[in-house]
Amino acid sequence: MALSGKVAVVTGGAMGIGRAITETLLQSGATVVLLDVNESAAKSLLDDLHKVYGRDRTLFLSCTVESEEQVKAALQKTVDTFGGIDILCNNAGILNEGEWEKTVSINLLGVIRGTYVALQHMNKLTGGRGGVVINTASMAGLGPLLSCPVYTASKHGVVGFTRAMAAASKASDYGIRFNAVCPGFVQTDLISNTKLKLGQFSHLEDATNQLMAEMRMLAPSEVAACVLELATDETKNGEALMVFAQGKQYVTFPTL
């Protein structure tokens, strides 16, 4: 299988897209460590996964991506348990325009934190074995969603950070590829009760619902399949892969 012998870490791995990524990576032969704050969802998922994949290829570690200490401990535990990290999926994210600083803290700072801590373990220049980092951005990382400006900003930041890290890693010979997956609307808890999550922009919910209707919804598994593509195609570095109901498309960015 494509990922046999590989060790993957998935943040926000207990639910939604992260759960689908976890399952897809396991199906491809990887060992998966899922980090999440929702212990009940994670433990329920682990029970299901153990029945299919056994107990030796999955591990749940309670961890918020907002905490440097917790992320460092979780990734160290991963290395101590499984010998290294080959794949990091910075997937954890929220939608909350009312608590916009928390949105930035999780969606962007959490991606930066996970990347920098994992770099210490994955970087070939510091004893790592290289690998790939896949960040869950959004199509809102490529264009504006008027009902959630801060969410849009956080996802634009993820795309920019991913592309810059890809270039830095290539120039520095870290041996690590960096890519972003940019889904449209996906049927998960994140987009439930959106009126409450849009804060001062809740009056714009209808406009977003109309866009949602036009674009149609994705299943989490469709996003996970694109994550697997970015993980296994070693020619992909610095890419942003858009995923929408009609298909997928790599973004062509302007060359400076």
Ligand X SMILES: CC/C=C\C[C@H](O)C(=O)/C=C/C=C/C=C\C=C\[C@@H](O)C/C=C\CCC(=O)O
Closest CA to 126 of 158, 165, 172: 172
CB 127 to ligand NAI: min, Å: 27
Q: Which of 48, 189, 206, 214 binds ligand NAI (CB under 6 A)?
A: 189
215 contact choice in ligand X, ligand NAI, none (CB below 5 to 8 Å, kind-dependent) = ligand X
- 148 near ligand NAI, rule: CB under 6 A: no
- Of residues 28 through 67, those in contact with ligand NAI by CB under 6 A are 35-38, 41, 64-66
CB 115 to ligand X: min, Å: 20
Which H helix or E strand runs over 59? strand 58-62
**What letter represents residue 175's amino acid?**
G
Alpha-carbon distance 93 to 138, whole Å? 10
91 contact choice in ligand NAI, ligand X, none (CB below 5 to 8 Å, kind-dependent) = ligand NAI
Q: Annotated catalytic, 53?
A: no
Q: What is the 3-state secondary structure (H, E, C) of 89-153?
A: EECCCCCCCCCHHHHHHHHHHHHHHHHHHHHHHHCHHHCCCCEEEEEECCHHHCCCCCCCHHHHH
DSSP tally for the chain: helices H, then strands E = 9, 8
Alpha-carbon distance 78 to 66, whole Å? 18
Q: Which of 186, 226, 227, 240 binds ligand NAI (CB under 6 A)?
A: 186
Helix (H, G, I), strand (E, B) or coil at 226: helix
Q: Which of 31, 91, 152, 162 binds ligand NAI (CB under 6 A)?
A: 91
Which residue lies nearer to ligand X by CB, 194 or 221? 194
Q: Which tokens in the block code for residue 115?
A: 């990347």
In 104-239, where do the E strands start and end? 131-136, 176-183
Binding site for ligand X (CB under 6 A): 95, 138-140, 142-145, 147-148, 151, 184-185, 190-191, 194, 208, 211, 215, 251
Which residue lies nearer to ligand NAI by CB, 123 or 136? 136
Residue given tokens 């690998």 in the structure block: 131
CB 121 to ligand NAI: min, Å: 18
| List 53, 116, 151, 174, catalytic entry | 151
**What letter represents residue 54's amino acid?**
G
11 contact choice in ligand NAI, ligand X, none (CB below 5 to 8 Å, kind-dependent) = ligand NAI
Contacts for 205 with CB less than 8 Å, ≥ 6 apart? 147, 194, 195, 198
**What letter represents residue 219's amino acid?**
A
CB 188 to ligand X: min, Å: 8
Catalytic residues: 151
Residues that bind ligand NAI (CB under 6 A): 11-12, 14-18, 35-38, 41, 64-66, 91-94, 106-107, 136, 138, 183, 185-186, 188-191
